[in-house]
Amino acid sequence: MTPDRQDEGAAVRPLGGPATPRPVAVDAASVVAAADAAAAWDVAAQPLTRRELRERERAEEAAKARMGAKLERAEESALAAKVERAEEAAQVAKGAKAERAEEAAQPELAQADHSPRPADRARAMTAAPSVPRAARRKPVVRRKSAVAKGFSLLAMTFAVAMAVATSVPAMALLSEGDVRAQVLQQQLAPAAAVEPQAMADAVGGEVASIIRDGADVTSAEQVSATSHMRIADTFTNNPRGAVQWPFAIGVPISDWYGPRVAPTEGASTNHPGIDFAPGVGVPIQIIADGVVREVVPSDNGGCGVNVTIDHMIGGALVASKYCHMMSGSVRVAVGQAVKVGDIVGLVGNTGISTGAHLHFEILLNGTEHTDPYVWLKANAS
């Protein structure tokens, strides 16, 4: 260092005296910044209060929540984009598959012409691209599938038909004329002609002659009667049963057993039987083997022309009563042994009656009325 040049801030030593420090220039902005830094250091060094700690924790939690929501949205967007790309790829693959199938089917359709001309056949052979053998087999597979479906449909139809045939009663599949023909065939069993029998009139004591019709006469009568017979799904009769209904097939029932409003003057308000209404002149059959107890051959009011027959059923006495029959139609006599299914008479309108019907009663122990419908339901085979 030369004597004429010195560093700034260095002490100046006057000649012959001690050295004194040289003053340094200070910037005001630097002083303020230094003071702020010192104040900030003092604040940072001080401990945080509980409120400040809670606010800081809330701020951190809010930041974490915002970050989580942001990540979740990003994941959802990525997943949606992935699904969309997969769907687009599937659509493209499906379209390509359909195009390949259509292209493979075109040569088969071109060959399906039933009357091709030679020139057309040559053009088709030169224009049509070669088709792999696997592609040419596809129409055959479809035809086999159609045949299989046809067999399946036929099998289902057969199964349904078998179910109907086994679940629906046979009578339900027949016409009314067919049903009458079957009933007539059941009723017209071969029977030997019966000699005329004498019957004592219980009222007048007069002797009347009852002619048991031969098979031919009975057949003609039953054919005429069943041609206008009314039928209904009220019961089912077994023609081979030991106990049967008064008719070989279900017929309408016009009145039931028990209390009722009297249908006409002189009629009962407590009906002791049931009324079958198959139509006038229809043959009435005996419900079981038995012996005829009573015959009222004339119309004297009340039950009109009627017959009572005693039966032994299940070891107990049971009587059956047939009322309102046609005059002159009775086929039995007192004391006569009868068989189930024999004709006792014809449906009529005698006695106190509002129309042709059979009033039928069942008497337990021979005298006690019971509901005939309930009893026949329980006992008729």
If you search the block for the tokens 């046609």, which residue do you land on? 326
Residue ranges of alpha helices (H) inside 28-117 are 28-45, 50-110
Maximum mean pLDDT: which of 18-22, 236-240, 289-293: 289-293
163-198 pLDDT, tens digit per residue, is: 655 555 554 455 666 666 665 565 544 333 334 333
Kindly tell me if the per-residue pLDDT of 59 is higher than 50.
yes
Residue 365: CA atoms inside 13 Å, Cβ hemisphere, count? 3
Structure token digits, residue 92: 């493209």
Q: How far apart are CA 38 and CA 33, in angstroms?
A: 9
Contact partners, residue 211, CB within 8 Å, separation at least 6: 196
pLDDT band at 145 (very low <50, low <70, confident <90, very high): low
Could you give the domains of the chain?
Answer: 179-379 (2.70.70.10)
Pick 336 or 25 by higher pLDDT: 336
Structure token digits, residue 28: 């005001």
pLDDT band at 379 (very low <50, low <70, confident <90, very high): very high
| 237, burial (CB in 10 Å: exposed 0-12, middle 13-18, buried 19+) | buried
% helix, strand, coil for the chain, step of 5: 40, 20, 40
200-237 pLDDT, tens digit per residue, is: 343 333 333 333 444 444 455 556 666 778 999 999 99
Regarding pTM above 0.75, the answer is: no
CB 208, CB 199: distance < 8 Å: yes
Residue 225 parent element (H or E): helix 215-226
CB 24, CB 9: distance < 8 Å: yes
pLDDT averaged over the chain?
76
* DSSP-based three-state secondary structure for 365: coil
- The Cα angle at residue 233 between residues 228 and 238, in degrees rounded to 5: 90
**In this predicted structure, which of 16-30, 160-174, 313-327, 331-345 has the lowest mean pLDDT?**
160-174
* DSSP-based three-state secondary structure for 351: coil
